[in-house]
Amino acid sequence: MSENTQTHPAADGQQLVVEDLHAYYGRSHVLQGVSLKVGAGEVVALLGRNGAGKTTTFRALTGLMPRTTGSVTLGDRQIGRKSTHQIAQLGVVYVPSGRRSFPMMTVKENLLIAVENSFRRARRKQALDEAFAMFPALARRVNTNAGVLSGGENQMLKMACAFLLQPTILLLDEPTEGLAPIVVAELVEHVRTLADTGVGILLAEQNARFAFQLSARAYVLNKGIVQMSGRVSELAESEELTTHLGI
């Protein structure tokens, strides 16, 4: 952990457990019994090609699409039938792919929205300082409109906003999408720093090499089904994984 970064108050050791999750788009059975676990301070990869069901899994977990069957628990609390807002308040925070910040607002204004929703007034400045310590590039762009940030800076801004929502579990959806290799390398360190605060991270990626640098365990999705799971050290040597991901 960065020496300037304090342990996040929301990292309370709760485990996210998903069991037999099914979801549909209309009549299309998109998720077919997905089960997975993510513990505190753990980075777990959710791998698969485009269309494998990674984003749908995140949307189902956070109440953004209907679920038909399955169980989602955080610690000892069943969260599978709660609203998106309630799920976020309980600590499961989704960082979608693409540019999702408010483009006409500055970096600081974007961060203040998260701070004001999550911290008492007396703690807000300290929380902002912690976010800037974790993402120093944002401190240098504090008065810049988010709409002119680079892809890497925008990704850092989304992650900083998510951090300020005090997550227990962070769902990162394709964070390397469209980023240059040098920016991806920097992103590795930011994800590690977030995990060091005790936040559990479920990392959805097509970029298996990036995910393998960060994760001890992985699940491989194919057409909404978990085809493989296990420790990264074992999966990385699997020819079957190469078939599923095209690497």
The total domain count for the chain is 1
Say what the pLDDT of residue 80 is.
Answer: 87
DSSP annotation of 39: -
**Structural domain contains residue 35:** yes
Whole-angstrom Cα distance, residue 48 to residue 225?
10
**Structural domain contains residue 135:** no
Say what the pLDDT of residue 21 is.
Answer: 95
Does pLDDT of 181 surpass 70?
Answer: yes
**Structural domain contains residue 142:** no
**Structural domain contains residue 215:** yes
Write out the residue range of the structural domain in which residue 69 sits.
16-97+166-245
The Cα-based distances of 58 to 36, 55, 85, 105 in angstroms read 12, 5, 14, 27
Tell me the pLDDT band of 218, cut-offs 50, 70 and 90. Answer: very high
Residue range 134-160: mean pLDDT, rounded: 90
Sign of CA dihedral 9, 11, 14, 20: positive
Helices (H), ranges, 135-168: 136-139, 151-164
Whole-angstrom Cα distance, residue 142 to residue 128?
11
**Structural domain contains residue 229:** yes
**Structural domain contains residue 130:** no
CATH of residue 183: 3.40.50.300
**Structural domain contains residue 216:** yes
Reduced to 3 states (helix: H, G, I; strand: E, B; else coil), residue 23 is: strand
